[in-house]
Structure 1
């Protein structure tokens, strides 16, 4: 598997937006790396993204609630659970913030189509 480190600057708004990311779900705190384990733990009105650190050392779930582009840094997304309000779609974007995947409307779940090309998630 190809591992690459992501280097990109955050704008002042990007840094502020990253600060509102809600922590990990209980499944991530238990140290599991199974994507299905948090499917039932994704809070309502959130999109939960299962990801691993680029150096493969850590797996986690992160929940995103607010509209905006959230920079993933060195985290590589692998799976998502879209538990936002019914019909809401999330978007995954590349380093140029071009949409490379749009989820089906909530409730939905699935694999991230381009994990190593994904740098941002947009819940709305």
Structure 2
């Protein structure tokens, strides 16, 4: 993973709006054409209505015209590594392939583990599932 991906994820984490959980998270994704999008979690008092860092980054990707995700970095301030939640795994899978790398980082800059989307979400729900 390139340092720029982690740096943007960490910068996004610092901008998180997490007044209730006190659990800031940042994510950055690189597309197959090299563009990078980042995002942070945004909480609201009605907890289920907030959104995750990965969701914010994907929203930026979509607003910029879309594309395929080549790799993702996720960092949380309070955990040695933070995996995307189930909903975000499905959202990432929508724009990624089973082999897309997901880097689980600590807040100090270390990549604790790199997994693939196929490992995080085996047998993902996909467009063929609707046929």
- Identify the TM-score tier after normalising by the shorter chain: 0.3 to 0.5
Q: Which has the larger share of helix?
A: 2
Q: Which has the larger share of strand?
A: 1
- Identify the structure with bigger relative contact order (alpha carbons < 8 Å, sequence gap 6+): 1
TM-score scaled by length of structure 1:
0.36
TM-score scaled by length of structure 2:
0.35
